[in-house]
Amino acid sequence: MIGYSFMGAAHSQAWRTVNRVYELPARVRMAQICGRDAAKVAEAADRLGWDTHTTDWRALVASDDIDVVDICTPGDSHAEIALAALAAGKHVICEKPLANTVEEARAMTAAAATAGASGVRSMCGFNYRRVPAVALMRQLVAEGRLGTIRHVRATYLQDWIVDPQFPLVWRLQKDKAGSGALGDIGAHIIDLTQFVTGQRITGVSAVTETFVKERPLPGASSGLAAEVDGTATATGTVTVDDAAIFVARLDDGALATYEATRFATGRKNALRVEINGSLGSVVFDLERLNELEFYDASRPATEQGFTRILVTEAEHPYMAAWWPPGHIIGYEHSFTHEMRDFVEAVANGVDPTPSFADALQVQLVLDAVTRSADLGSRWTDVEPALAALAV
């Protein structure tokens, strides 16, 4: 694993747990963790349960006793690490968004295809696909229970940078993060809605905004937290969007709206998706992660209404291995499910999803959103991923 902070901790938790919960065809050994600070990575290895640690990701990637490389760093290093790992014949799991640019994502996808020909697997970490209620949503759509999908309504709202004194952490710098709310949380709802509906976004019209353009330079930071140094006078320019809002068309005729923002005061990590079809609707709200609301329009008029399904039955996706019905799970479990699917795919010699090609398609949507916003919300088609690969 490269990176030991927010996602490093979340993935470590999943790697520690996955063999204890699921019967898998392979056993995970947490071999080595990498970070840039020797003392901090040593402490992280101990705390998170890794056998050894290093400050040199190239040495880790070249290591003979490592089969899988898990990339938990900011986007500016995803491409370089993934390309080196795939070239060294390692299976790769890479956090989202796949890269900072379409060009990088394209190179990663091409490398994954080449490596895939000799059985090397790769996957991008869109973990929300693995929330049981989201997987159930997809099943209901695939079984035709919603009929023809007409509307997708997706919001992902946070508020961690509302304070203009919150420092200029890497997530607010384009060269490190690629984009702001758009690529960080917008990418999740793009992937999630395409996964659930089985439809791809074909075109967008977008607005983006950077509300606070200058911020104090940061002290120590990780994940969504940073030390605020009240005495610091130096500031830097925010080079990413604080918020991105767009309308979209999906390739089977649905209309969609997306809102991703870090300025929704009071909203901490509020991901909500509603899908309306000709035969029914479903609603998922991450703050009620164990539940799915389902409106089945085929029921008698006297019984119609949204049903709250508690997605904790053994028959529900991923749930059989956990607790008795009604004994709920949380955020971290989505990562355990991610690692379960990844390990199964690698051990069984099949390609896990979402593939790098799937993640490249998300990157192409992010790119279309940015270009549309730059052109005063002009309608912008999303470049087809396969055509992009052929370039």
Ligand X SMILES: NC(=O)c1ccc[n+]([C@@H]2O[C@H](COP(=O)([O-])OP(=O)(O)OC[C@H]3O[C@@H](n4cnc5c(N)ncnc54)[C@H](O)[C@@H]3O)[C@@H](O)[C@H]2O)c1
Helices marked H in the chain: 6-21, 38-48, 57-62, 78-87, 102-116, 132-142, 174-177, 181, 187-197, 331-348, 356-374, 385-390
| 195: contact with ligand X by CB under 6 A | no
Which positions from 28 to 47 touch ligand X by CB under 6 A, shown as an x/- string? ------xxx-----------
Q: Is 354 in the site for ligand X (CB under 6 A)?
A: no
State the nearest-atom distance from the C-beta of 32 to ligand X, in Å: 12
Closest to 70 in 3D by CA, of 311, 343, 369, 299: 343
Contact 243/262 with Cβ under 8 angstroms?
yes
Are the beta carbons of 76 and 176 closer than 8 angstroms?
A: yes
DSSP 85: H
For ligand X, the binding residue among 54, 100, 122, 127 (CB under 6 A) is: 127
User: Min. distance of Cβ 267 from ligand X in angstroms?
Assistant: 16
Give the residue, chosen from 1, 7, 110, 343, that forms a contact with ligand X under the rule CB under 6 A.
7
Dihedral of the alpha carbons of 14, 19, 20, 25, in degrees to the nearest 10: 150
Single out the segment in contact with ligand X by CB under 6 A; choices: 68-76, 105-113, 138-146, 151-159: 68-76
Name the one residue in this structure whose structure tokens are 């949507």. Answer: 365
Binding ligand X (rule: CB under 6 A), the pick from 74, 132, 277, 354 is 74
Which string of x and - marks every residue 89-118 that binds ligand X (by CB under 6 A)? ------xx----------------------
Residues 221-280 that bind ligand X (CB under 6 A): 222-223
Q: DSSP letter at 292?
A: E
Using CB under 6 A as the binding rule, whether residue 125 contacts ligand X is answered as: yes
If one asks whether residue 180 binds ligand X (CB under 6 A), the answer comes out as no
Burial of 63 (0-12, 13-18, 19+ CB in 10 A): middle
Site string for ligand X, 277-296 (x = CB under 6 A): --------------------
